[in-house]
Copies of this chain bind each other. A is one copy, B any other.
């Protein structure tokens, strides 16, 4: 916070996350970090780099491989006035600890009638595309979005990552902070360049409950989140060459879903395409399409569409994995098909 800010200081999402956590730990002694390999290693995905050195092992705690245990403990800490930031290394591992998340953390405020809050951030990596197979590549956006009592967010770039993390830590509720491996900026994973953005070194927050217009356009609304936003932006750039202006909405928040922003946009464009890399059925695409279609004020010029990972476990072989994952090419193709009648 004290270093002079280069106006174009660019950070990865990983660096933005660890910077946000570190700044908040410096500002608020109640903030602490827990998880597997988050201390000495600085997080498998770089989310806690340097924090052990700065804040010591009391506030930066490596845990046993006991997700139920340490997430439960985090709820206890949160109820006792701490603000734990906890890492679930891969979202795929939710199955060993979901009770502590959805039945405990997410319902504590409600069951206690507001007496006991749960200011806890659970950060977790999502996404595939790098050959890590079916238990290390899932997204599960809708799995978390479906269950009440938690906020669920995911940044598509480093600027938002920092602002969302600061907002999440300060929020009195459990916030699931998803980060997409393809955007994380770990050298060993490859990273979409557009996610590495200018990040102010001072203090700022990005609202946890608001979608953002990542690109304005009049002809079509492409709604996405995380990596999908970049596929959408890539497709939009190509479409622009033939005079078609796609609006791209970055949901940012999965829960609560900012339906107003989506409806407002589709109300203008009349066309809706949703893109995500979670499983298709009962997914983000369905919820966004339904949210638009149940709004009687919106009239559509084309049938709404969704692109998602099909209802298939994520295959290892790149030959198969890339066949099923969304891509800019698939977004482009769907967008063109939706615009055809109008052209």
Binding site for B on A (CB under 8 A): 68, 92-103, 106-107, 110-111, 134-135, 142-143, 145-149, 255-257, 278-279, 281-287, 289-291, 293-296, 303-306, 310-313, 315
Contact = CB atoms under 8 A, between A and B. Distances in A.
Given A257-B281, A282-B282, A282-B286, A103 B142 contact: no
Contacts of A100: 95
Given A148-B279, A313-B149, A102 B95 contact: yes
B303 A294 contact: yes
A313 B111 contact: yes
Given A94-B98, A110-B313, A312-B148, A306 B290 contact: yes
Contact of A313 (B148, B290, B311): B148
A110 B102 CA distance: 28
B303 A296 contact: yes
| Nearest 8 Cβ contacts at the A-B interface | A95-B99, A95-B98, A296-B303, A286-B290, A289-B290, A146-B282, A142-B282, A148-B311
Contacts of A92: 103
Contacts of A303: 293-296
A95 B102 CA distance: 8
A115 to B, nearest CB: 15
A96 B255 CA distance: 23
> Of A93, A102, A290, which is in contact with the most chain B CB atoms at under 10 Å from its CB?
A290
Q: Which of A103, A111, A281 has the most chain B CB within a 10 Å cutoff?
A: A281
A279 B110 CA distance: 15
Nearest to A297: B303
Contacts of A103: 92, 95, 134-135
A305 B311 contact: no
Contact of A294 (B257, B289, B312): B289
Contact of A286 (B93, B143, B286): B286
A155 B235 CA distance: 44
A38 to B, nearest CB: 21
A277 to B, nearest CB: 14
Contacts of A313: 106-107, 110-111, 148-149
A263 to B, nearest CB: 12
Nearest to A147: B279
Nearest to A278: B146
A181 to B, nearest CB: 18
A294 B290 contact: no
A134 B146 contact: no
Contacts of A287: 281-282, 286, 290
A69 to B, nearest CB: 12
A98 B135 CA distance: 13
A147 B221 CA distance: 27
A106 B314 CA distance: 12
Contact of A143 (B135, B146, B291, B312): B146
A305 B304 CA distance: 17
A294 B283 CA distance: 14
